[in-house]
Each structure stands twice: as structure tokens, then as C-alpha cells.
Chains A and B, each alone.
Chain A
């Protein structure tokens, strides 16, 4: 599969995850979000940027439970709960937010 952004084509896997995370840009994130029927707001960016820095530090996409706890610590308890994260990413924060962030599917995410 491929994703078209600004006339350029980017390779994705069969589930739409970006094949090469080093190609990621903000316009690609917006396009990936669109493929998930999501409009990126500041709140979405906050989570996506968090995931990217988590990946950079630990080389993995965190499981939902870990993401929830870490977001709570970094961005405040009101955001560190699954209700808030599922409102932003209805089909699963780990699955959708990781895809938009250009990361591989989280380990243990089924």
C-alpha cells in the first residue's frame, strides 16, 4: 500500500502503518489521520508528539496502559485516562495515535 501526500508516495504496510518512520512529517500525520477519519487538533498533536518522543527514547511504541499512565504524568491527571484518550482516538489510542505518529504497531497490541 502507499500513501499519497503532496504528490509524493510513501510506502505503508497492509494496515496503513508507515513503512519507514524516518520519512514522517506533519503533513503525513495529517494524511494518516484523515485515513482514520480524524481531524488533528492541538490535543491530538500533544499525544502524537508524546508518542514520538517515547519511541525515540525507548525504541518501542508503549502499550495503552503505559501510555495512559505516562500521559497522566506528563500532561496532567485529567488527560491520563482512557476516556480522554479514546475520545481523541476512538479506535484505540495506541493503534490510531501510533499510526498517525508514524510508529510501528505497539508490541502486544492485537
Chain B
């Protein structure tokens, strides 16, 4: 399922499909921040990157986070930079949102700009069912869980 391209030596090099899965609330553990940093670093290596948010992980994308009272840096504004890093496939599990009484309107509106269409803004977040997400996972080369 991956694209093939030739590297400098003329050998076939596959672009791998990376999926980063986030299941934990943004603060209280370091998983969410670590995951975000790995995604940003990994995006520099021109792989095919997707990110998924499941269970309490959906809280990572919620709007209006305020960390003043817990003494941690609010890193939620950084999710809006994912589009600049060409991370344009952000999947949020529908069932996880519903179980927490959330809708897509409770999440940040994340977009990416399509250079080929005069920087037209396109939505990055796709809400998908557990079943659809399972199919997306089956299509990946590498899965990283946080």
C-alpha cells in the first residue's frame, strides 16, 4: 500500500505508512506531549503520517484547554501546527467522542493548506467509527502507541 521511489543509489525505497495512536488524556502523564513531539520529528522524514485519537486521547484535541492550575505548559496550540508539518490525516474515533458526551465541535478546528490549490484550507480531522478505524489500522506499515 506504500508508494515506491528510487533513492540516490537507484534502489527502490518505500515510503512507510506510520500511524500514531493516542489513548490518554493530555495531562497527568507525559504520553500526549511525547507523542506530539515524535509526530513532529517524524514528519521531517517525509513518511506517510497519520494520527489517531481514541478513548481519553480525544481530550487532547479539545478546545479551550487551560493548564494554569496544574503548572504544566498548555501544548494544545501545537496541534494546529500539524498541518504545516504536512500531517493531514487526523482520525478521531466516533464512539470515544460519544461516550464522553463530546462532538467534533468540542475539538479544535484543525486544517491544512493545499499548496496546489492556492493554499485552500482543508479539514484535517476525520471522525470515524471503530470499525473504519480498524480498517485504516490494517493498512499501516508501522503503528506507534501512546
Contacts and interface: CB of A to CB of B under 8 A. Distances in A.
Interface of A: 57-60, 62-63, 65-66, 69-70, 73, 107-108
Contacts of B103: none
Given A69-B115, A70-B84, 5 more contacts: A59-B75, A60-B78, A62-B84, A73-B119, A108-B41
B81 interface: yes
A93 to B, nearest CB: 14
B4 interface: no
Contact of A108 (B44, B75, B78, B113): B44
Contacts of A69: 84, 115
Please give me the 9 A-B residue pairs with the lowest Cβ-Cβ distance, nearest first: A108-B41, A58-B81, A66-B84, A59-B77, A59-B78, A60-B78, A107-B40, A108-B44, A58-B77
B80 interface: yes
B85 A63 contact: yes
Nearest to A56: B77
* Interface size bracket, B side: 10 to 19
A70 B84 CA distance: 8
Contacts of A58: 77-78, 80-81, 84
A102 B39 CA distance: 24
A66 B82 CA distance: 10
Nearest to B40: A107
B132 interface: no
A80 B110 CA distance: 24
B44 A59 contact: no
A66 B85 CA distance: 6
Interface string B88-115: 0000000000000000000000000101
Contacts of A65: 44
Contacts of B113: 73
A62 to B, nearest CB: 7
A59 B84 CA distance: 13
A73 B83 CA distance: 14
